[in-house]
Structure 1
Amino acid sequence: MTKSIFLNFFISLLFINCKPKVVEDYPKYEKTINTTEYKIKNKGDFSLKIPKTWKEIEVNGIDSDVMVFVNSLNDTITSDYGWYSNSLNDENLPTVYTKNEYNALSENDKNNLKESEYIIIEDYNNFDYNSITKSIYKIYKIDNRKAKVVMPKTSGNGITGVYFEKLYKVRGNFMNLNLYGYNVNKETEEEILNVISTIKFKK
C-alpha cells in the first residue's frame, strides 16, 4: 500500500472510528434564511427543506439516488444517497512522511518527489490531519444520527456539506448520504449549512 493510499485510507477511518466524548446537536442556521422561503423535498428514506431558489437538474444515478441543484448564484449543490456516496474527504492531499520514513527513501525516490506533494513530520501521534486540508469537519448529531459536517477553512475554497454513514441496509449493503458543494460562494455555504439542519429520517 503506497503512502498516499494509506493516508487517504487513514483519513476515511477518522470518521468511521471517531468516538468523540460528546456529540452535540447540530446548530440551526436559520438566521440567514427565512424558513418560509424553503420547500420540502421528500425522498424515500429522508426529507429535507431547500430554498425555493434552488433549481433541480434531472440526473440519473448508478446504484444511487442523486440530486443536483443550481442556486441563484449559479453554484452547484449535489446529494448522493447510495452504497458508495462520497465521504467528503479532501482529495490530492500531500503524502505524509515521518523523518525516519523520509530518510529511508532511496535518493532516486527523494529526487522524484515534488516539494508541494509531500510533507515531513516528527510522528503521527502529534500530527493534525486538518492542518493539510482545505476543509475541516466536526461530528454532530442530526435527527439522532451521527453526521460529519464539513466546512472550508477559507470561504469559497473547499467542501461545504454533510455525510451520514451506514443509515439503512439495502440488499446487504449500507446506504450512505451526502449533500455538498465545492468552492461555492459564502452565501451558498450558508444555504447548505442551513439545509443540513432540516434533514429528517423516516425510519
Structure 2
Amino acid sequence: MIKNILRFILIVLLLSGFNYRCNPSDTKLLDFEYFTINVPKAWEQIKLKGEDSYVGEIKIDADKVVYFDLGRYSNALNEDDDQEDYMIENGNIYLRDTPKVVKGKSAFSYKYLDTATEANLKKVRQNKIYWINIDGYKTKLVLSKQSSNGITGIYIDSLWNAGNSRDRFMMSSYRLTEAQREELISAFKSLKFCKAPKRK
C-alpha cells in the first residue's frame, strides 16, 4: 500500500513539472531535425528510414529503445484497439479465456465480462492515461500500471496540418525499470518541435 502511494506521488511530481534529475550535466540534447529532446548522456540516437513517416529510435541500453513516429498514421496508443487480454464488441467487454489446443495449435476464446462502461474498462486496462502539455501541445501520456511489463509513451494528435490531413507524433518504450521510466517522462517534457517535415 505504501509503495503504491509513493509511486503515485512520484508520478504526480513528474507530471506537475518537478525535475527529478536536478543536474543538467547528466543530460544531452538530441536533434532529430523536426524536434529536439534532452535525454540521459548514455542514451544514443538511432536513425531509421520510414516509408510514409519520419521514424527513429533512442537506444536506452542493450535491450531497450524508445521508438518514435512522426506522420499521418502514428499509433494513437489506444489500448482497447490493440489488446490480447480483452476485447470490446457491441458495447461489451470480453476477457480472453485460457487457450485450448486444437490440432496442435492454441486457440483462444473470449468470455463475457460486463458492459463496456468507463468504470469497467478501468478494471481491465493495463494502462493509465494522463493529459499533459508538451511544448504547447495537448499530449496523451500513457503509463502502464506496472512499468516492467508495459508501455511508457506519449501521443500528440495534431502537430501540423499536412494538406487535408495532419501530422501526429508518438514516442514510446516498453518494459522499463522505474528509474528508466522517470528518465523518459523527464525527456518527454523537454521535447521542442521545430518545423513540419517536407512532403514529397
TM-score by length of 2: 0.71
2:4 counterpart residue number: none
Q: Which amino acid aligns with 1:79?
A: F
User: For the structure 1 residues 173 and 127, does the alpha-carbon distance in structure 2 shift closer, same or farther, using more than 3 Å as the test?
Assistant: same
2:51 paired residue number = 62
Shift in Å at residue 89 of structure 1? 2.3
SS in 2 for 1:53: coil
Q: C-alpha offsets along residues 172-202 of structure 1, whole Å, 9 cap, x if unaligned?
A: 3211111110122222211211101101233
Q: Distance in 1 between matches of 2:193 and 2:62?
A: 29
Query: Structure 1 residue 148: deviation in Å?
Result: 0.2
Residues 40 and 126 (structure 1), Cα distance of their counterparts in 2 relative to 1, 3 Å cut? closer
State yes or no: 1:173 paired with 2:168. Answer: no
- 1:191, 1:58 → 2: CA distance? 21
What's 1:92 paired with? 83
| Structure 1, gaps ≥5 residues long | 1-24, 103-111
Residue 22 (structure 1) aligns with: none
Query: Which structure ranks higher in relative contact order (CA pairs < 8 Å, sequence separation ≥ 6)?
Result: 1
Q: Which SS does the other structure have where 1:156 is aligned?
A: helix
Shift of 1:158: 1.0
2:176 equivalent to 1:187? no
Question: Taking structure 1 as reference, are residues 80 and 96 closer, same or farther at Cα in structure 2, changes over 3 Å only?
Answer: closer
Task: Please say if 1:37 is aligned against 2:30.
Answer: no
| SS state at 2:55 partner | strand
Rate the CA distance shift 1:128–1:167 in 2: closer, same or farther, 3 A.
farther
Match in the other structure for 2:147: 155
Map 1:93-172 → 2, pairs under 5 A: 93=84, 94-96=86-88, 114=109, 117-121=110-114, 123-125=115-117, 127-172=119-164
Specify the SS of the correspondent of 1:188.
helix
Shift of 1:95: 2.2
3-state SS in 1 of match to 2:149: coil
Alignment match, 1:78: 67
In the superposition, the TM-score normalised over structure 1's length comes to 0.70
Cα distance in structure 2, aligned partners of 1:147 and 1:101: 27
User: Residue 196 of structure 1 aligns with which residue?
Assistant: 188
Whichever structure has more strand as a proportion of its residues is 2
Give the residue type in structure 1 aligned to 2:54.
D
How far has the Cα of 1:99 moved from its partner? 10
Tell me the distance in 2 between the aligned counterparts of 1:62 and 1:100.
37
| 1:1-47 Cα shifts (integer Å, max 9, x gaps) | xxxxxxxxxxxxxxxxxxxxxxxx94235214632222222344432
Deviation at 1:53, TM superposition (A): 0.8
Contact residue 139 and residue 148 of structure 1 kept, 8 A: yes
Instruction: Write the distance in 2 (CA, Å) between the matches of 1:199 and 1:146.
Output: 13
CA RMSD of aligned residues (A): 2.9
